[in-house]
Every structure is written in structure tokens, then in C-alpha cells.
Amino acid sequence: MADLATCLPLTRASVVEAHNLIRPFIHRTPVLTNRTIDGIASTPRTPEELNGTPFEGATPSNPKLRLWFKCENLQRIGAFKARGAFHAVERLKREPGWEAGGGFTKGVVTHSSGNHAQALALAASTAGMPAHIVMPKISAPPKVAATKGYGANVVFSGSTAAEREAVAAEVIASTGGRMVPPYDHPDIILGQGTAGLELQEQVAEAKTTTPNSKSKSGPTALLYSPTTAPSSSSTNSGLDAIMTPCGGGGLLSGTVLSAQGTGIRVFGAEPSLDGADDCARGLAQGKRIEAVKSLTIADGLRTPVGKHNWAVLTGETPESNGQGVHGVYAVGEDQIRAALRLLLERLKIVVEPSSAVPLAVVLYNEEFRRRVEAEAGPEGWDLGIVLSGGNVSLEGFAKLFPEARERT
């Protein structure tokens, strides 16, 4: 990976610089809204739905939310990971001595369950260098096929982070390739943060243009259908908050940086199965959790938060001034499935389970919903949600919803 000494500082200005660097290689993905989903999110759950939860017997919360969905499922390779991979490769190409040292021949190496694998394969191919990708044996076949389709050499490993890293070290030793980690590096973090930057710009723009108009700034038109008038109590011209999924923390920490100095709150969303909510638990205990072993359906969120990502999320970087993530919330598998179904049936888009986790938090995590009600008041929040990716097969959907198959 690029020498840490050459990396840009972890600031919003660096996210802007990263965006300028990768703009020719990525899509400016659309932002969508939906009145029906806003209505569901802004309706109190029934007392029966709170049975068996810590809020059993309490009055259901009543938040008011206007949701803006950033469709990174329509990004190149079908996920936000293209942003970080292209930024890492472009920064690596500019490292002194990279070309003279045979960098374009040795190429790059990484380990990934799928989306970063595809992203790095594409970025390396575009730059004219080989990519060696370590993938867990349980990776989804479509993701493996897509990674190979971009010309990468795929090497299989076990499913845990330690197993992936061990095989990656062997590949680096044999090829001389440079490691490009999936999330734990400043170049990756800054690249992923460009999604949050675009989301802020697009929502602010949408609120000041005629309904159903299209943005002219970028290769992909901004698509939206405004729900209600902007809140007069907003601290900025667009969003009050953004929520992203959290696995290794690249997208979430990058989004935190993209919101520095804007007044926009940033939240993370995780699955709770088998301890996959390591970020939320780590924040609660004040220490990063270094290992996760979960088979949650949100397969992109099975990894622990990285060291650099953790420093950003906790506001411990030199440039953060103590500003980090505002909170991380978790949901169960059935809630993720319900949110995934809602996105398919109401927003009419195909996303992978990891993408549905933030919406599941918004709909079902009563702690988060109570926080919105308390902090936003009757005016509510404009909340941006990053739909992180859409790499799921038809067969994968069938396994997620077996009851639908039984009815046919």
C-alpha cells in the first residue's frame, strides 16, 4: 500500500481532493426518495412489536424522517468499493519510485469477500497492472466470477480475517505485489468518503431545484421525488444526518470525514448476529474489537473495524478535533430481510443485504428512533442512507426469502 507518510491528512478537504482525483473513473450515483418508506419510518411501531425487546411496555417512539437513498448499488462494479480502490491505485501510481521499481509489473494484492475484490480488479486493470485477490471459499459465486472477469488472479482462503491475511502475505511474498487493504488505510477511507460528499451535494441541490428536475452536474442525473418541504430548523441546506453500513469501517469513517464542519450527524449500522456489531460494542467499552466471526446474511459486514477507521470513528485522529461517529446501532437478521424486501418492493431497486442494514435500523431499532424523536423534535430529520452495493444473485434472493418461493 502507499506509504503512510505520503497520505493526505484525514480531513474533509482531503475527501474533496480524492473526489477530484477519481472523478473520471467513477459514477455520480443517483439519490432516490420514496414517500411510502418515509411514512413507514415516521409511524410508531405497535406495542406488540416491542414485546421481547428492551422497550417492551414503553410508549413507541414517534420520529419524523425524510430519507434520501444514495444508490451505490449503481456504482461501477455494483458497490461503493470502487471509490476507495480507484483512489488507492491512483495514489499508488503517484508514489515516488513506484514505476521505476516495477510496480506496474508486480501489481497489487488484497483480501476481500467480494466487492473490494471486484473494485481493485477493475482499478488495477484500468491502470494496466495485475491484481492478485484472496477471497474466502464461501464468497458468493457471482462475486468470484466478476472478480475473475476483470482479469484478477483469485486465490482462495478461509473465511476469518486472520486466514485471509495469512494467505495474502504468502501471495505478496511470491509476487512482490503491493497490498491494498479493503478498508484499513487512509487512501481507502478518503476514497469511500466521496460517496458522502456527493450525497450532501445532491440533497442540497435537490432541495433548491424544481421538483422532478434533474441535476446537470455529473455523468449520472440526480433522480429524486421530494417528500415534504425542507425543515426550517435544519443546521445546513441539505441533510441533518447520514447513516451507512459498518463492516471494516471504510465507508463509515470516510463519511464521517466528509461531514466534518457541516453540522451533519453520521451514524453507523451493523448486524447483531454472532457479535457482528463489533463497532457498537467497541464504542460502548471504549476499545476496538479485533476479531469477528459471524455468518450474518449481511456478508459485507462480517469484518472487524480497522485501526485507522477506528481512530476516525472515535475522533482520535490529529485532525478530527474530537469529532467522530455520532452512534452505531445494530439489528437482527429478520429485520434486515424485512428492510431488504421493502427496498425491492417500494424503491424498486436491487441491493445486497448489507445495504439494507441502515434502513433496518431506521425502521426497527427503537433506541435510534427515540434519539431522532428527541433530537429532531416535530420537524424531523432529513437522513441520508448509503445503499452500499447491489451484488446479489437471483439465487441469493431466493435463499433469503424461501417463503416467497414456497408460495409460487
Q: Which residues contact 87 (CB under 8 A, 6 or more apart)?
A: 18, 21, 22, 187, 188, 190, 191, 194
Asked if 113 is an active-site residue, the reply is: yes
Catalytic residue, chosen from 61, 112, 113, 231, is: 113
Distance CA 193, CA 207 (A): 22
Taking alpha carbons only, the member of 374, 253, 288, 360 closest to residue 11 is 253
Grid coordinates belonging to 24: 473520471
Q: Three-state SS for 145?
A: helix
Which region holds residue 309: left if phi is over 0, alpha if psi is between -120 and 50, else beta? Answer: alpha
Sequence-distant contacts of 1-4: CB under 8 A, at least 24 apart: 1/88, 1/92, 1/178, 1/179, 1/180, 1/181, 1/185, 1/187, 2/88, 2/91, 2/92, 2/95, 2/185, 2/187, 3/95, 4/186
Contact 376, 240 (CB under 8 A): yes
Cell numbers 495474502 correspond to 168
Measure the CA–CA gap between 177 and 1, rounded to whole angstroms: 9
User: Rounded to 5 degrees, what angle do the CA atoms 205, 243, 4 make?
Assistant: 95
**Residue 384: all three cell numbers together:** 441520508
Query: Which is the catalytic residue, given 14, 42, 61, 81?
Result: 81
Q: What are the two backbone dihedrals, phi and then psi, of residue 399, each rounded to the nearest 5 degrees?
A: -70, -30
* 3 state DSSP class of 292: coil
Contact 192, 248 (CB under 8 A): no
- On whether the CB atoms of residues 240 and 383 are closer than 8 A, the answer is yes
The bridge status of strand 108-111 relative to strand 178-179 is parallel
Q: Does residue 81 have an active-site annotation? A: yes
Q: Give yes or no for a contact between 336 and 306, defined as CB atoms under 8 angstroms apart.
A: no
Active site (catalytic) residues: 81, 113
